[in-house]
Amino acid sequence: MLAKLIKLDLRFAYKQFLAMAALLLLVGIFGPIMNISVLKFGLPLIFTITFSVIPVLSIWLVVQHFQRNLFGHEGYLMFSLPVSAGQLLFSKIITTVLWFNLMLFSALALVILLLRPEVSLRVVMADLLTWEAIQTGLRVLLLINVNVLPLILAIFMGIALGTVAVRNKKLGSFWGNVIAIVGIALFIWCCIKLSAWTYLDLTSEAQLFISITVAASQWLNIATSAVFCTLFFGVTTYIMRHRLNLG
Amino acid sequence: MSESLLEVKNVSKRYGQQMALDNVSFSVAPGHITGLLGPNGSGKTTMIKIIIGLLADYTGEVRICGHHPGKESKKLVSYLPDKMALPAWLVVREALELYTSFFADFQPTRAHDLLHSLNVPQDKRISELSKGMQEKLMLVLTMARRAKIYVLDEPLAGVDPAARDLILSTILDNFGEDSSILLSTHIISDVETIFDEVLFLKAGVVDLQGEAEVLRSQHGKSIDQLFREVYRC
């Protein structure tokens, strides 16, 4: 049933995400022709716009879909399907990860394509397709996902909590958002604290073991994310099972 | 009582300070059509949402073929909501595929035949269908299942009087002897003849309940007349 749900979720939102990815690729392809280049705007600006606006936009789309699909009119269909609340949420998480990564790759492709006037595409690809670059890329991708997933789950939890209020939906939504923001802040604070802790004894001697410290920091980051994901997932499924209040 | 497909015992539901359902109990036996009657705001939809599992925060007990509302009960209950639950961009044919993939008891051939007889085009998007057509589509999807219980929330509300007979015959022709129907409505006159049992809800409380025929003979009135008497302002 989970596979069917994932298929259904992909069908529910594929047009929006594929259109966004196609738009990014088109900007990348035709940008240099229309005098939009990395040289003109500067690499930091292009990077900032691409890797902040696009993920935020894709998270916004995912959140909109989550709200409409589970707690809007479509919820009448979704919650009458013979599946568990956990399956419903898990399918949303899997499709969210898929869409988010599609957007990340599209953003990366956009930057590479916009670099064409300055650097040959062949040179960029040759640099990117080395074993070391692929390993680093995968590690970065994993860490981005590890850090984004709790944020999305916190927003899902906030939306679900917001529906518990039956008398005043707006107030419920407000408190749901507040709890989601507190959850996100707590996660970020924990990550920073734990990350700082691994670097506490970073004396000149310890710098020899910097790779060990970085690895430890990354593993702590993954563990923190897992704890927060479990917490947010648990609260959301609890609401869907025991406090569901479809309006 | 033990043979009932649906058992509702002492169910209460609050929305804040407002009591939406107060100690409601009833059961639905196999082969029976039960009318859940009451004006707008009497608690009919709340009761149905609890049975389906769309409302989880209530007190009391609901059993569907022995199961609490949940994954197992949803395999046995075919639900017609009072609003369009399918996404507007979905093509009718795709809606049938969706039901086929999720409900093991869904009969696509029957659904095709019903859509054909109700003149619902299969190649159009739901957004392109009129409100009446959308309701017919939802009814077809609901009745094309071989479910144990059909829970129909206001199936006649948005349908013109001319189409009501067609809707009713679709409902009656497509449920088996071992199945039951729980039908909520505030339009009684057109449907009262199909009810085996009725339950009058008034401000969340069961005001009157019993076999339709017994109530008619006891009060010397039709169910529609009784309804007007119970809910007279």
- Nearest chain A residue to B17 by CA distance is A167
Q: Which two tokens stand for residue A43?
A: 């690499």
Distance in angstroms (rounded) separating the CA atoms of residues A231 and A183: 10
Mean pLDDT, chain B, as a whole number? Answer: 89
- Determine which of A77, A89, A163, A171 to mutate to test the interface with B (most B C-beta atoms within 10 Å): A77
Distance in angstroms (rounded) separating the CA atoms of residues B180 and B149: 5
Residue A125 confidence (pLDDT) above 90: no
The pLDDT tens digits for A8-50 are 888 888 888 899 899 888 888 887 777 766 666 677 777 777 7
- Determine which of B13, B46, B57, B100 to mutate to test the interface with A (most A C-beta atoms within 10 Å): B57
CA distance B190 to chain A (A): 27
Q: Sorting pLDDT into bands at 50, 70 and 90, what band is A211?
A: low
Domains and CATH numbers, chain B: 6-230 (3.40.50.300)
Higher pLDDT, A199 or B51: B51
Average pLDDT over residues B88-103: 93
Residue B163 confidence (pLDDT) above 80: no
| Portion 72-101 of B in contact with A at CB < 8 A | 72, 74-75, 77, 79, 81, 83-87, 89, 98, 101
Residue A36: its pLDDT value, please?
Answer: 67
Longest dimension (CA), chain B: 51
- Determine which of A65, A80, A245 to mutate to test the interface with B (most B C-beta atoms within 10 Å): A80
Interface residue ranges in chain A relative to chain B, Cβ cutoff 8 Å: 1, 4, 7-8, 12, 15, 73-77, 79-84, 164, 166-167, 240-246
CA distance B116 to chain A (A): 23
Residue B91 confidence (pLDDT) above 90: yes
Residues B54, A80: C-beta atoms closer than 8 Å:
yes
Whole-structure pTM value: 0.87
Average pLDDT over residues A120-147: 88
- Nearest chain A residue to B18 by CA distance is A167
Is B70 within 8 Å of B53 (Cβ atoms)?
A: yes
The pLDDT tens digits for A74-119 are 999 999 999 999 999 999 999 999 998 998 888 888 888 888 777 7
Residue A208 confidence (pLDDT) above 80: no
Residue A63 confidence (pLDDT) above 60: yes
Residues A244, B57: C-beta atoms closer than 8 Å:
yes
Average pLDDT over residues A151-172: 88
Residues A80, B49: C-beta atoms closer than 8 Å:
no
Contacts of A73 in chain B (CB under 8 A): 83-85
| Portion 8-67 of B in contact with A at CB < 8 A | 15-18, 49, 52-57
In chain B, % of residues over pLDDT 70: 98
DSSP secondary structure of B35-97: EEE--TTSSHHHHHHHHHTSB---EEEEEETTBPTTHHHHHHEEEE-SS--S-TT-BHHHHHH
Residue A201: its pLDDT value, please?
Answer: 55
Residue A127 confidence (pLDDT) above 50: yes
First-last CA distance in chain A: 26
Distance in angstroms (rounded) separating the CA atoms of residues B205 and A163: 25
Residue B190 confidence (pLDDT) above 60: yes
CA distance A170 to chain B (A): 15
Residues B55, A244: C-beta atoms closer than 8 Å:
yes
Residues B83, A73: C-beta atoms closer than 8 Å:
yes
Residues B85, A74: C-beta atoms closer than 8 Å:
yes
Angle CA A10–A11–A14, to nearest 5: 70
Is B146 within 8 Å of B176 (Cβ atoms)?
A: yes
Asked whether this complex has an ipTM greater than 0.95, the answer is no
Indicate the residue of A73, A241, A244 with minimum beta-carbon distance to B84: A73
Name the burial class of residue A204, with classes exposed (0-12), middle (13-18) and buried (19+) by CB atoms within 10 angstroms of its CB: exposed
- Nearest chain A residue to B104 by CA distance is A82
Which alpha helices (DSSP H) does chain B contain, by range? 44-52, 71-76, 92-102, 108-117, 131-143, 161-173, 212-219, 223-230
Is A152 within 8 Å of A62 (Cβ atoms)?
A: yes
The region, left, alpha or beta by phi > 0 then psi within -120 to 50, assigned to residue B199 is: beta
Name the burial class of residue A37, with classes exposed (0-12), middle (13-18) and buried (19+) by CB atoms within 10 angstroms of its CB: middle
- Nearest chain A residue to B85 by CA distance is A74
The pLDDT tens digits for B53-81 are 999 989 999 999 999 999 999 999 999 99
Mean pLDDT, chain A, as a whole number? Answer: 85
Residue A76: its pLDDT value, please?
Answer: 94
Indicate the residue of B52, B71, B85 with minimum beta-carbon distance to A84: B71
Residue B1: its pLDDT value, please?
Answer: 44
Residue A31: its pLDDT value, please?
Answer: 78
